[in-house]
Amino acid sequence: MSGLPPGSELETATDRTPPSTVVIFGASGDLTQRKLAPALHSLACAGRLSPETSILGIGRSDITNDAFRARLFEGVQAYARLKPDPRLCNLWSQFETRFSYIRMPNLDTAGFAGLTERLRSERSVDGQGNVLFYLAVPPAAASAILRSLGHAGLAKSDRGFRRIVFEKPFGSDLSSARELNQAAHAVFDETQIFRIDHYLGKETVQNILALRFANAIFEPLWNRDYVDHVQITVAESIGVEHRAAYYDRAGVLRDIVQNHLLQLLTLVAMEPPGSASAKALRDEKAKVLDAVRSIDGKDFVLGQYAGYRDQPNVAAGSSTPTYAAVRLLIDNWRWRDVPFYLRSGKRLAEKKTEIRLQFKDVPHRLFSEERGPAPNRLSLQIQPDEGVHLRFEAKVPGSGMETHPVDMVYHYEDDFGATGLPDAYERLLLDALTGDPSLFIRSDEIELAWGLIDPLLRASLSPSPYSVGSWGPEDAGRLFDAPGRVWLND
């Protein structure tokens, strides 16, 4: 079933999920309303979700099926890429019947016995017994659910697949991530496990691979001979808002640096994989993390935005960082001595995720004595303004030989239209249901990433204050150690 007019571009999509039951733990939380239900709806509209998909939401709240569906409808209307629309995607009245809610306040044996019964009856509907468990719960609850799934015998099936998706954060430091990996491996094989980092579901993030490995012109320059340094920025203008209870325990290092920033780093820095297989891709990403030199105390700066401590649910005198900037070095042939500057913060000047490769200066300047910033820079705009910009010098018209930096610009929207970019969760749900782990994080990757961040979590560094709407604390500039290197904020 698709809610789109026959023959429309999305209607012709070929990948389609097999009949399955999606069991969402933590279904009364925000993620299901804002991300999962809207993504499933858009997949259904695009004809990519099997009509024989049912979604069981499990949560603590005491709500009826109707209330659950009404809540999801609000989310779908507000956040789905393909929204319910009588002309474009008119399937809500059928689609909502696929969702049901099971209240399980204690995740106890009786609750799981009820779930097993329910899955048996679902199985008779789709005839295959494919089940995707989706853990949209904190890591501590994840371990308990894993044990119960194991005891109830729900992790294995001789007919159909059993897979499990872990929302981030996967652990809260290296030792808890290791424990969670062990708990997961006690019940599921690694091939059944899908650890989410929603950044990998973003089209523009996947485009890093296309840009590097589907073109011949960039890769020859993509190394220490030509690249002066790399800056990776995940800047947000929003603050912690209603998530302070979680955020004050996590902070930016756990919330963004360990996952989104390090994942972006792996894609920019990895060697070309031998094939496009999940194994080849994830092997190369893991090698990057393994080659990152341990981060020294002088190589990072933490910050906290003014007013953070006044937010509800933030501990008085909290020293949780809402900003981090880190200087990394990758000890391998390609990147030796090329610094990678990673930064992320809340309440910064604007929302912007981008990767900038600053190329080295020309060996000899013919047209100007002035030593300004080196002229060439490649910017991969992940969001907003999704696209690619290449900066180079051009001659200013007129007499003389004055030059000025100009940009060669590509925007996704221009070529693929405004709704051409699926939401990250659409792609990730599609891949989890069709069984492609390429865009999910393997157990070794997750532990390597935590291993890099652990020393920063343990360092007793107080965050420096910064003003709301700025680019972070002043002292973040001290990470630059060569003339001409500054944070590129323009």
Compute the least distance from the CB of residue 382 to ligand BG6, in Å: 8
Residue 416: C-alpha distances to residues 208, 355, 406, 410 (Å) = 17, 21, 24, 11
Question: Closest CB to ligand BG6 among 231 and 353?
Answer: 353
Compute the least distance from the CB of residue 136 to ligand BG6, in Å: 12
Compute the least distance from the CB of residue 409 to ligand BG6, in Å: 21
> Binders of ligand BG6 among 185-204, rule CB under 6 A?
none
Question: Would you say 285 and 268 are in contact if contact means Cβ atoms under 8 Å apart?
Answer: no
Task: Give residue 410's identity as a one-letter amino acid code.
Answer: Y
- Binding status of residue 255 toward ligand BG6 by CB under 6 A: yes
Question: Closest CB to ligand BG6 among 292 and 348?
Answer: 348
Question: Would you say 131 and 160 are in contact if contact means Cβ atoms under 8 Å apart?
Answer: yes
- Binding status of residue 258 toward ligand BG6 by CB under 6 A: no
- What distance, in Å, lies between the first and last C-alpha atoms of the chain? 46
Compute the least distance from the CB of residue 296 to ligand BG6, in Å: 26
Compute the least distance from the CB of residue 36 to ligand BG6, in Å: 14
203 CA to centre of own chain: 11
How wide is the angle at C-alpha 249 spanned by C-alphas 251 and 80, nearest 5°?
70
- Binding status of residue 344 toward ligand BG6 by CB under 6 A: no
Question: Closest CB to ligand BG6 among 32 and 128?
Answer: 32
Residue 343: C-alpha distances to residues 33, 395, 432, 467 (Å) = 29, 34, 30, 16
Question: Closest CB to ligand BG6 among 255 and 354?
Answer: 255
Question: Closest CB to ligand BG6 among 192 and 259?
Answer: 259
Question: Partners of 394 in the beta sheet?
Answer: 404
Active site residues per annotation:
260
Q: Residue 306 is encoded by which pair of tokens?
A: 């003014």
Compute the least distance from the CB of residue 264 to ligand BG6, in Å: 11
Name the phi and psi angles at 167, rounded to 5: -70, 155
- Please pick, from the candidates 54, 128, 311, 353, the single residue that binds ligand BG6 as defined by CB under 6 A: 353
Q: Sheet of 20-25: strands edge to edge?
A: 99-103, 53-59, 20-25, 131-135, 162-166, 193-195
Which of 286, 289, 255 has its CA nearest to residue 273? 286
| Interface size with ligand BG6, residues (CB under 6 A) | 3
Q: Which residue is nearest to ligand BG6 (CB)?
A: 255
Q: Is 127 left (phi over 0), alpha (psi -120 to 50) or beta?
A: left
Question: Closest CB to ligand BG6 among 96 and 236?
Answer: 236
Name the phi and psi angles at 387, rounded to 5: 170, -165
Compute the least distance from the CB of residue 67 to ligand BG6, in Å: 26
Question: Closest CB to ligand BG6 among 245 and 396?
Answer: 245
- Binding status of residue 236 toward ligand BG6 by CB under 6 A: yes
- Binding status of residue 426 toward ligand BG6 by CB under 6 A: no
- Binding status of residue 122 toward ligand BG6 by CB under 6 A: no
* Chain contacts with ligand BG6 (rule: CB under 6 A): 236, 255, 353
